[in-house]
Amino acid sequence: MLGIPLIPISHLTLSSLFPVGTDVYLRPKGAKEAMLFLAADQIATEEALELLAVSKDIKLFISQTECQKFQKHLRDNFDLWFENDAVPAKNKAAMLSEVIRNVLSDEFTRNDTNSIVDATKQLGVHIARLATEKSLTGAELCQILHHDYGTFTHSGNVAFYCSLLAAELGYANEELAEIATGGLLHDLGKLDIDERVLNKPGKLDEFEFRIIKEHPLGGFRRLTKVNEATRIQLLMTYQHHERIDGKGYPVGIGGDEIHIASRICSVADVFEAMTSNRPYRGALSHKQTLEIMTESVTQAFDKEVFECWKTIVSSRLGN
């Protein structure tokens, strides 16, 4: 297998019920080369999956050139898997995490807001269902989510975190789905920002920061032209950088003027950004992140929402 660039995949995206659609390679710890584990049309046995689940030393990979194919396969079969009670919740979450990346990547590249809202609506329903799934622990969810701070990964994780928070705060399932979709859409306005500014490593100058600050309004404007976008999603997109002390942007409203769903999104957004890897720094731990966020809680965040998030992190997501 030398010479073929490989990318890691989670063993949870394999199922004993369906083939994976691309060749899957396996590399035991210490081995230099990966070997073929499953051909594209083969189905993993229960025994093999159990072994993978307990062994931290065996890593699975697919060819980098087949990444799109792998994600498309998951996407095409996702509804079937999601409705199948024999598929454990953590496998569904792993598959959903891949599907979210694929859908957002495709849809954001196509850059059609109607189509983006349409595609994210169904994902929001799935995210909300998993967020309230008792058999899926927060620690499992954290292991499954990617933390590379790509826009698509970021939006997917924010959507999961918003759902966990909203569920804990007592929102019903329908609203959870709406909020989850709002999490997927919250940075929509970044589609209009030059990638050189968006991906600039290190500090932004004043002019660049002014451009970045336009993304809540840009996303809001896009969503106002779409019938399917809900009020909550419009507000989450427009207000997620507002601060409770009125020193945020784009408007500088504060306190209760900021919609509760936007206050939820703000906590999820900052937590996600700090706990993800950036080109210029590694991810901070949950504990470090909560400590830093606590320092500015009365200025930046809704205290009740933040306290609720702290409880979720310490009781379910871990340090």
Question: Is 225 annotated as catalytic?
Answer: no
> Residue type for 235, please?
L
**Is 13:53 a contact under the CB 8 Å cutoff?**
no
Q: Name which of 219, 172, 168, 166 is nearest 192 in CA terms.
A: 219
Using alpha carbons only, what angle is made at residue 176 by residues 10 and 156, rounded to the nearest 5 degrees? Answer: 35
Kindly tell me which of 38 and 261 has the beta carbon lying closer to Fe ion. 261
Of the residues 90, 92, 121, 190, only one is catalytic, namely 190
Kindly tell me which of 247 and 287 has the beta carbon lying closer to Fe ion. 247
Strands in the chain per DSSP E: 6-9, 24-28, 35-38, 58-63
Q: Name which of 222, 193, 227 is nearest 207 in CA terms.
A: 193
CA separation for the pair 283, 19 (Å, rounded): 34
CB of 92 to Fe ion, least distance (A): 28
CA separation for the pair 158, 100 (Å, rounded): 12
**Is 227:235 a contact under the CB 8 Å cutoff?**
no
Report the 10 Å Cβ neighbour count for 238. Answer: 25
**Is 237:248 a contact under the CB 8 Å cutoff?**
no
Residue with tokens 């950036």: 278
Kindly tell me which of 8 and 252 has the beta carbon lying closer to Fe ion. 252
Kindly tell me which of 26 and 191 has the beta carbon lying closer to Fe ion. 191
Q: Name which of 187, 186, 212 is nearest 197 in CA terms.
A: 212
**Is 297:303 a contact under the CB 8 Å cutoff?**
yes
Strands in 95-209 per DSSP E: none
Residues that bind Fe ion (CB under 5 A): 187
**Is 262:242 a contact under the CB 8 Å cutoff?**
yes
Q: Report the chain's C-alpha Rg in angstroms.
A: 20
Kindly tell me which of 146 and 215 has the beta carbon lying closer to Fe ion. 215
- Hey, which residues are catalytic here? 190
